[in-house]
Structure 1
Amino acid sequence: MLSSLQHKLYTFIFFIVLIGLPLTVKAQLLGTGKSTTEEAPKVPADSLGRNTPQGTVNGFIKAIAEQNYIRASQYLVLSKRSYRSVKERIRIAQAFQRLLDQNGDILPPSMINNKETGRTDDELAAGIDLVGTITTNNTLINLYVENQTEDDNKPALWQFSDETVNAIANATIGDETILDRILPDVLKERKMAGVPIGHWFVVVVMILVAYMLSWAIISLIGFLIQRFWRKANTEKISAIIDAFTLPARLYMGVLVFVALTQRLGISIIVRQRFSVIIVTIAIVAFLILLWRLTDFISSYSRDRMTLRGRISAISVILFLRRTTKVAIVIIGIIAILGAVGVDVTAGIAALGIGGIALALGAQKTMENFVGSVSLIVDQPIRVGDYCRIGDIKGTVESIGMRSTTLRTAARTIVTIPNAEFAASKIENYTHRDRFLFNPILTFRMETTPDQLRYLLVELRALLYSHPSVVNSSPIVRFKGITADALKVEMTAYIEAANVDDSHEVQEDLLLRILDIIDNSGTGLAYPSQTIYFARDGGNSEEKTAQAEETVKKWKENGELQLPKFDQKRVDELRGMIQYPEEGSVVKPEPNNE
């Protein structure tokens, strides 16, 4: 960030350099305003350059600068007979100049239309353009130029309208301006470019005065903001104030300069030459503001992403900052060229064609960039997440501008373009809040109905009582009879911090399920195509009898927990299982309840 002293120095140098520009751009600013890429006219152009509103205004200013008032009068509509004498024509042209010098204003050349049709997007009638104003005796005179040609097949001929000329001819010209009264005769008699040399010296002084006043005003405003607004001293607000300081000084300097030159009565010839510079300064100030705001926003966003640990977003922020700055430079060059009178239509068209060609050639690159932006904004994955993209499973190691890399279980690196990544279905395993436990058990066909009832009750009791199974109702259902087995499906959710912990709980549940199956007296079914050469012992008669007796007691006492468990029994079962089981090196956590 530049210091305030550097701001002052750079701005001062900027204003001083501008002093020499009017003399070097005289031919361009006061010419006919024709573009270097102007299309060949369909008909012969007017010798005085009156084919466009801009050409008429520039030609009139050039004529009065050369004190050729006869030629200057040809840019006016002199319809009345009394205006047709040479003396009267000269008088009106001189009065026009005098009124403009005292309190008149004409638009900068770049803001005046340079087409034969004139402006078509304003509220005025076709063939009429407003190019400036004059204030005299509290009366506002609008300066209109009007196309005098009614035949579309003939060249346009723009002149200051009859209404404007009549108002000027009848206007009361005031006394000498402030500048005329204070300048010594020697500075008024000697002229440069048709203007007393004293006006040029005063303009130089006004540049310095405008700069000093703008610096003082903006410094005072900054001091008051910091004095009465507590947040102004914070790092963020202070950076915003610094970003606005230099552009605000330039804008304020322009406003002060325009106000002073109009108030003092600087010649309209000088002011028109400096109008291009004023517009250029305004454009430069706005570009500086955009540049500094881009730096501030990117720095602020980068710090926020760093604090949040979103390192992958920083590369996108830096890329967007560079892209924005390039756009600012290109737009600034086009705007400045347009302000000084260069026709940039062909350049813009060339940029458009080049941009389309570049976009087509870099289509995949842009797709990958857009994909990386969507991954960072939506955050379906983050660095370190374990996920599945299509048929690929792995841990995300990096999210770049073009691609994302995954580390697979085989320790290989897979690189996926971000466009393909963002368009794919992403399954993220890292952020699961619970893990599905869904084994399907098949029992021998010899299993009796009471054995099956015993299994259903005990398996449900296992899920209800295990501390790592989510308290929502687990499901254990007899799902069907296949050709070689009785099928029972279990569905529950394991509550664990990560995948490894869920595997430990699942292992414990499966071991306890095997214990329950063994106690029931039946067993898991073997595939029907298996051939047994050893003698099958069949079901245990003793354990079968025990299981049947247990079910009988449940029925007699009205305690058979089918088709679902009684809530009272569920409450009794909760937490009865010790997990990890007794003898494990991992000690169970104390029950806070």
Structure 2
Amino acid sequence: MLVASSAFAQIPGTNGNGAAPAQPAPPTDPLGRETPAGMVAGFIGAAAEQNYEKAAQYLDLSQEKSAWGPSVAQQLQRILDRGGVVFSRLRLSDDPAGDQDDGLAPDQEKFGLVRTDHGSVDLLAHRVENKDGVKIWLVSPRTVADLPDLSRTVVSSWVDKLLPYALRDEYRLAGVPIGHWLAVVVLAFLSYAVVWLITGALWWVLFRFRDRGDSRIRRVLEASAMPIRLFLAAWMLRVAMILAGVAIVARQHMNSVTEVLGWLALSWIVWRIVDALAAFAIDRMTLRGRLSMLSAVNFIRRAVKFALIAFALIAGLNSLGYNVTAGLAALGIGGIAIALGAQKTIEHLVGSLTLVTDQPMRVGDFCKFGETMGTIEDIGMRSTRIRTLDRTVVTVPNGQLAAVQIENYSRRDKFWFHPVLDLRYETTPAQIRALTASIRQLLLDHPKVDNDPARVRFIALGAISLRVEIFSYVHATSMDEFLEVQEELFLRIMELVDEAGSGFAFPSQTIYVTRDKGVAVPKSADAVDVAQPPESDHGSSYSAAAAAAADRV
């Protein structure tokens, strides 16, 4: 009991429900400064609200004792508006420790730069511990100290010079002057127009010196012209907004939009290229007669598109600020449940890979599997569509299709001609010999019948007929052609049977009627002696009577 008491004394106490007491959650920063990306987003948001007291809390003013925080924050915004660049969310780290491979000190992070006449100046953040013991990121004292010199080097932006006062300072939308949003719209149209002119000129020059009609390069460029221009215009707009001096808040909002457009355009380009290359590959394989690879090309195209959609979705969500990494981690935690729920889908995907690699059938083949028979119309990533003889469409999951026996009628090189003739029993052996020889000669003389083998044999004495087997193969490219040759052979065989003096047997019974002669009864010698009377004149008449009696018996 003492040992047990001492052992239980080592176990932590529990609450009233029998569970261990919950550990207190670690303190967090209410301003979201725990990561470099959170620090930049918080400062831009506060600047958009023109809440410079809040924006000052993202600056490390520990070495600027006499500085007034809101004024310094407003000064940083003005510098960023006129020539500063803040990195996008894709480049800023979401890790509380920051990017450890950027060549800076472990507690430092580069979040932007300012272009001046003497070169570019890096904007740095550093990690400190606040009064609550939480490690947060702030604009470093070094960058704060450089702000007065940087403010003297930057000049008014082109947008501010061209806009009237009302559009520049009075009316605002989402913390940005209306005039700057109008400038963004104008720059977007100009960027697309410039890109359209440049790409049009380049393609005109390319096709002029390399005019090969329907070449691969021409087909790919024509298919992806629109997404290429959209991709280049999105990135040109980002550069134009910096050069024109659009407000940093508007640029940060538009950076997310241009990044999403860029990823969508890039995915669109790859999508068009995959379609163009797949169409080119299908044309080449069709010309070379390699029809068995068409299903593989279609499957690879769909698989690439599926991966492309997933990639574009993840990149777009990340550009909009959603933490995709945390979502993927959550999927990893629930991976077992998802795997159990998606096991059928995985089975069908594996079945698709099996059908593509083994190629038991391809699009256009006429097949039979189970009780279903029809023409393969499409082999997808999950299921296969079959057009039946009733002109209905049957959709079969690839996992089931890969597990059943598939009989492919389109893959046979020749058709089996194998009738069995039932001849009448009145047919003589000589007639059978002549008939088999004539049918064999018919097979050998026909141009569509394979000579090896062209076998005709008398095989059985059946219950109602004499059976003759024909075993041969017919060279035909389709079922219609085979049926035509088979019809011709059947008609000629009927003529040969008639010429041989025989005929085809019918299911029948033959009844033979005959007279039974009876059973002979043996007689003893004494009975014969008694039965013979002495010779007399009546002997002849007696013998006749006895014979008549015997006949009656």
Q: TM-score range by the shorter chain?
A: 0.5 to 0.7
Does 68-77 or 361-370 show the bigger shift? 361-370
Q: TM-score, normalised by structure 2?
A: 0.58
Q: Distance in 1 between matches of 2:163 and 2:259?
A: 28
In structure 2, what is the equivalent of residue 200 of structure 1? 181
141 and 421 in structure 1: CA distance in 2 versus 1, 3 angstrom threshold = farther
Q: Which residue of 1 aligns with 2:76?
A: 96
Structure 2: distance between partners of 1:359 and 1:312: 30
SS class of match (2:111) = strand
- 1:46 counterpart = 2:29: yes
Q: Is the 8 A contact 1:338 1:344 kept in 2?
A: yes
Q: TM-score, normalised by structure 1?
A: 0.54
Cα distance, 1:368 vs structure 2: 4.1
Q: Do the aligned partners of 1:371 and 1:421 also contact (CA within 8 Å) in 2? A: no
- What is the correspondence of 1:486-505 to structure 2 with a 5 Å cutoff? none
Q: Within the alignment, does 1:160 sit opposite 2:142 as a pair?
A: no
Q: C-alpha separation between the residues in 2 aligned to 1:62 and 1:368? A: 51
Aligned residues of 2:285 and 2:291 also touching (Cα < 8 A)? yes
Any conservation in 1 of the 2:39–2:58 contact (CA below 8 Å)?
Answer: yes
Match of 2:40 in 1: 57
Q: Which of 204, 224, 230 in structure 2 is aligned with 1:223?
A: 204
CA distance in 2, matches of 1:345, 1:79: 34
Map of 1:257 onto structure 2: 237
Residue ranges of structure 2 left out of the alignment (5+ in a row): 1-22, 367-374, 385-399, 414-448, 455-553
1:274 to partner: Cα distance? 0.6
- Residue 54 of structure 2 is matched in structure 1 by 71
Residue 178, structure 1, aligned to residue 161, structure 2 = no
Q: Which residue of 1 aligns with 2:274?
A: 294
Mapped partners of 1:51, 1:207: distance in 2: 35
Deviation at 1:265, TM superposition (A): 0.9
Task: Provide the rounded CA distance (Å) in 1 between the counterparts of 2:189 and 2:178.
Answer: 18
Aligned CA distance change for structure 1 residues 367 and 174 (closer, same or farther; 3 Å): closer
Kept in 1: contact 2:314–2:324 (CA 8 A): yes
Show the 5 A alignment for 1:2-41.
none
Distance 1:156 1:214, change over 3 A: same
Which AA in structure 2 matches 1:199? H
1:199-253, Cα deviation, whole Å (9 max, x unpaired): 111111111111211211111111111122233x324322111133122211221
Of residues 167-176 and 127-136 in structure 1, the stretch that sits farther from structure 2 once superposed is 167-176
Range that drifts further, 333-342 or 300-309 = 300-309
Q: Percent identity?
A: 31
Amino acid at match of 1:49: G
Task: Give, as a single letter, the amino acid of the residue that structure 1 aligns with 2:311.
Answer: I
Tell me what 2:354 maps to: 371
Against the structure 1 CA distance between its residues 347 and 64, is the aligned structure 2 distance closer, same or farther, given a 3 Å change threshold?
Answer: closer
Structure-1 residue corresponding to 2:434: none
SS in 2 for 1:85: coil
Please state how far the C-alpha of 1:42 moved relative to its aligned partner: 3.7
What does 1:69-468 correspond to in 2, within 5 Å? Answer: 69-80=52-63, 83-87=64-68, 89-149=69-129, 154-171=133-150, 172-192=152-172, 193-231=174-212, 233-345=213-325, 347-349=327-329, 353=335, 356-357=339-340, 360-361=343-344, 365-376=348-359
How far 1:366 sits from its partner (Å)?
4.3
CA distance in 1, matches of 2:30, 2:130: 19
Q: Deviations over 1:162-199 (max 9, x none)?
A: 22222223333323222222211222231313332211
**Residues 318 and 41 of structure 1: CA distance in aligned 2, closer, same or farther (over 3 Å):** farther
Select the structure of larger CA radius of gyration.
2
Give the drift of 1:351: 6.1
**Aligned residues: CA RMSD:** 4.0
In structure 1, C-alpha distance between the alignment counterparts of 2:378 and 2:265, rounded to whole Å: 35
Q: Contact 1:371 / 1:419 at 8 angstroms: preserved in 2?
A: no
The alpha carbon displacement at 1:137 in A equals 2.1
Determine the structure 2 residue equivalent to 1:568.
Answer: none
* 8 Å CA contact retained: 2:158, 2:245: yes
Shift in alpha-carbon separation, 1:122–1:361, aligned structure 2, 3 A: farther
One-letter code aligned to 2:27: P
Deviation for aligned residue 1:68:
3.0
Q: Secondary structure at the match of 1:157?
A: strand
Q: Is the 8 A contact 1:183 1:198 kept in 2?
A: yes
In 1, the alpha carbon distance for the partners of 2:279 and 2:309 equals 20
Q: Deviations for 1:247-288, whole angstroms, at most 9, x for unmatched residues?
A: 221122123212221111111111011110010011011110
